[in-house]
């Protein structure tokens, strides 16, 4: 059973992408239905895989029927099945959100016929990376998802996206080349790229060679996971993409890197040679990331920096190299995928409702849209690790594992983790206080903003007058209709004129804060609400989930189940 299902999470999205591309722009409705159906099927398959893997242990299939160390192997164990389930869940949520957004915008702004196939290819790449049983297939999985992400990040080809996209592409290319070179060296040293066989053969190498190979792989994966010295590309490139794209990137792509680091540190190099280095990196990632978040004023940039910062927690758990630490890291990965995706979706809704993601331009959202306030508040508190939520459980597990380790460096990291948690609370409650809690009239529409509004035209500059009393205070009648039409025209005009300034720096969307409040599209709100419900469900189901994470960590520490699954009953060579 498990052998039949294993290739499906890769195959289904790839076939779906081909079909979606064929259906193309002529039948957008069929295309949308198709991609939603495909991802739902992937989700179902992943859940079944997780249940089977948790009950029966790891299993593997050799694609094409080649004998084991020669062919391509796909391996399902508890960790990869768990990652598949979470990935499919958030991908489905984001896809429904994107469908809602496309329907609301009339499908004109984004080349939507490209979006769906590319999104499915991205998911196929993520699934392939999670299932890969050999290093080169892992590389291919990375390349599939990265190439799809290049297209998604530069969707529409506007100047800020191209600028951000080029940084992202070149950094990713560098890490891919490093990974490929490491594969070449690994093959030269051991004569295999099969991970189970590598687990046995790498230990026979001289220590220096092992260290070189391990550090090359780790550097390549740390770039993808955005661990501190290699994380500068992330806050620069993520915020400019469309909201659903940023959401799925933030949730999944960095976690694929974390997954690869887990495999490297447990399966390939269990000796713990670089654990101290990783621990220092985790410390720097947590603190520097969160200090960056505190300094920002744009919600998407704040979230990007918290994303970097919280990667540090997972690296901390991995570098502890204990079962408790790994279990905490696995649970935290699951929690963080769901929570970060949800928050970026909420940021997309905030931008839609408030016309901006700059906290200095927002205000009164709690009164204007109480539902949106709830949708932000719950995952935000979860991210900061306020007790009842899964964020608290994950952080507590990690800090507990750190204290249990007993060394001085883990204790320093426990302290840093607590500080990071508090600073996260500070960063996100500042967003809450400014964007949601204060009256809109108090938002400091600064000097440059007023100038920008004045520069854009008289229609725009007049608008903040009607803000204090909300949409009801706007003048009615035909004049209002005409003036709002003129205002929209001016906004289009200024959007063209300021297209070179990134929309996130606060100048590009000058004057858009006066956009009248419109009801949010139901599909977008609905999918975000479901995602929030999923993050809450992670709390409710924390017991069984932590159980799976615990057993996955035991498998990882043991290595036996993985290796035996690959070599089957034939015994190790």
Partner 1 sequence: MTPTVVLPVIVGVLYAAGVYLLLDRSLTRVLLGFLLLGNATNLLLLSSGGAAGLAPILGYAEPEEMSDSLPQALVLTAIVITFGIAAFLLAIIYRSWRLVRQEVIEVDEEDRRIARRSDTDADDIDPDDLAPEDRPAMHADTFAADNEVERGLARQYAGMASDDVDLPPTRRRKR
User: Which residues of the shown chain bind partner 1 in the complex (CB under 8 A)?
Assistant: 136, 140, 143, 147, 150-151, 154, 157, 159, 162-163, 165-166, 169-170, 173-174, 177, 180-181, 183-185, 187-188, 193, 445, 447-448, 450-455, 458-459, 461-465, 475, 477, 479-480, 483, 486-487, 493, 496-497, 499-501, 507, 510
Nearer to partner 1, 96 or 135 (CB): 135
Nearer to partner 1, 420 or 443 (CB): 443
Q: How far apart are CA 193 and CA 70, in angstroms?
A: 9
Nearer to partner 1, 170 or 371 (CB): 170
Q: How far apart are CA 480 and CA 470, in angstroms?
A: 15
Nearer to partner 1, 79 or 151 (CB): 151
Q: How far is the CB of 200 from partner 1 (least distance, A)?
A: 18
Largest CA distance in the chain: 83
Closest CA to 338 of 376, 392, 391, 286: 391
Nearer to partner 1, 239 or 511 (CB): 511
Q: How far is the CB of 8 from partner 1 (least distance, A)?
A: 23
Nearer to partner 1, 4 or 496 (CB): 496
Nearer to partner 1, 46 or 118 (CB): 118
71 Cβ contact list (under 8 Å, min separation 6)? 62, 63, 64, 65
**CA separation, residue 208 to residues 203, 204, 212 (Å):** 11, 12, 6
Structure tokens at 413: 């990291």
Q: How far is the CB of 177 from partner 1 (least distance, A)?
A: 5
Q: How far is the CB of 360 from partner 1 (least distance, A)?
A: 15
Q: How far apart are CA 269 and CA 263, in angstroms?
A: 9
Tell me 512's DSSP state: G
Q: How far is the CB of 16 from partner 1 (least distance, A)?
A: 20
Q: How far is the CB of 509 from partner 1 (least distance, A)?
A: 12
Nearer to partner 1, 352 or 487 (CB): 487
Q: How far is the CB of 519 from partner 1 (least distance, A)?
A: 24
Q: How far apart are CA 498 and CA 503, in angstroms?
A: 9
Nearer to partner 1, 422 or 462 (CB): 462
Closest CA to 244 of 353, 124, 112: 112
Residue corresponding to tokens 């630490």: 325
Q: How far is the CB of 45 from partner 1 (least distance, A)?
A: 26
61, β-bridge pairs? 74
Closest CA to 149 of 73, 234, 211: 234
379, β-bridge pairs? none
Residue corresponding to tokens 């933030």: 250
Q: How far is the CB of 483 from partner 1 (least distance, A)?
A: 4
Tell me 406's DSSP state: -
Nearer to partner 1, 22 or 454 (CB): 454
Q: Map residue 76 onto helix, strand or coil.
A: strand
339 Cβ contact list (under 8 Å, min separation 6)? 379, 382, 383, 390, 391, 535
Q: How far apart are CA 445 and CA 299, in angstroms?
A: 16
Q: How far is the CB of 477 from partner 1 (least distance, A)?
A: 8
């Amino acid at each position: 059973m498990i052998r039949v299902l294993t290739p499906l999470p890769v195959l289904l999205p790839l076939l779906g992408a081909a079909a979606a591309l064929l259906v193309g722009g002529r039948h957008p409705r069929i295309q949308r239905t198709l991609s939603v159906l495909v991802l739902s099927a992937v989700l179902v398959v992943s859940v079944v895989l997780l249940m089977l893997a948790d009950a029966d242990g790891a299993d593997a299939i050799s694609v094409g029927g080649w004998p084991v160390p020669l062919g391509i192997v796909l391996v399902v164990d508890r960790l990869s099945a768990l990652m598949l389930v979470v990935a499919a869940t958030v991908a489905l949520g984001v896809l429904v959100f994107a469908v809602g957004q496309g329907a609301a915008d009339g499908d004109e702004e984004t080349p939507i016929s490209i979006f769906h196939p590319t999104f499915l290819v991205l998911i196929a790449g993520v699934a392939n990376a999670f299932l890969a049983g050999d290093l080169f297939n892992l590389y291919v999985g990375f390349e599939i998802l990265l190439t799809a992400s290049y297209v998604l990040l530069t969707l529409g080809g506007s100047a800020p996206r191209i600028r951000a996209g080029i940084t992202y592409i070149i950094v990713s290319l560098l890490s891919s080349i490093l990974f490929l070179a490491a594969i070449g060296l690994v093959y030269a040293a051991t004569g295999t790229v099969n991970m189970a066989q590598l687990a046995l053969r790498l230990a026979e190498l001289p220590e220096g060679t092992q260290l070189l190979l391990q550090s090359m792989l780790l550097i390549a994966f740390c770039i993808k996971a955005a661990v501190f010295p290699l994380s500068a590309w992330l806050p620069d490139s993520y915020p400019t993409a469309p909201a659903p794209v940023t959401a799925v990137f933030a949730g999944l792509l960095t976690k694929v890197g974390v997954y690869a680091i887990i495999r490297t540190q447990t399966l390939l190099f269990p000796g713990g040679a670089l654990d101290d280095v990783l621990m220092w990196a985790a410390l720097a990632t947590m603190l520097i990331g969160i200090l960056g978040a505190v300094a920002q004023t744009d919600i998407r940039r704040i979230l990007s920096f918290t994303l970097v910062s919280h990667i540090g927690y997972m690296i901390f758990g991995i570098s502890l190299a204990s079962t408790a630490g790994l279990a905490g890291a696995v649970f935290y990965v699951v929690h963080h995928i769901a929570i970060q995706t949800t928050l970026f979706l909420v940021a997309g809704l905030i931008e839609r409702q408030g016309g901006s993601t700059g906290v200095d331009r927002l205000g009164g959202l709690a009164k204007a849209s109480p539902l949106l306030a709830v949708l932000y508040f719950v995952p935000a508190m979860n991210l900061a690790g306020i007790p009842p939520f899964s964020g608290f459980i994950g952080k507590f597990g990690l800090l507990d594992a750190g204290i249990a380790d007993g060394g001085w460096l883990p204790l320093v990291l426990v302290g840093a983790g607590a500080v990071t948690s508090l600073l996260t609370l500070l960063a996100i409650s500042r967003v809450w206080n400014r964007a949601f809690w204060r009256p809109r009239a108090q938002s400091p529409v600064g000097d440059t903003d007023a100038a920008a509004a004045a520069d854009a035209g008289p229609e725009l500059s007049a608008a903040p007058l009607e803000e204090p009393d909300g949409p009801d205070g706007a003048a009615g009648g035909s004049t209002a209709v005409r003036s709002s039409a003129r205002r929209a025209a001016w906004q289009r005009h200024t959007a063209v004129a300021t297209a070179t300034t990134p929309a996130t720096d606060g100048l590009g969307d000058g004057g858009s804060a006066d956009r009248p409040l419109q009801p949010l599209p139901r599909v977008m709100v609905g999918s975000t609400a479901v995602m929030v419900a999923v993050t809450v469900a992670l709390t409710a189901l924390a017991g069984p989930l932590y159980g799976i994470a615990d057993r996955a960590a035991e498998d990882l520490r043991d290595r036996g189940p993985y290796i035996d699954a690959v070599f089957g009953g034939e015994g190790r060579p």
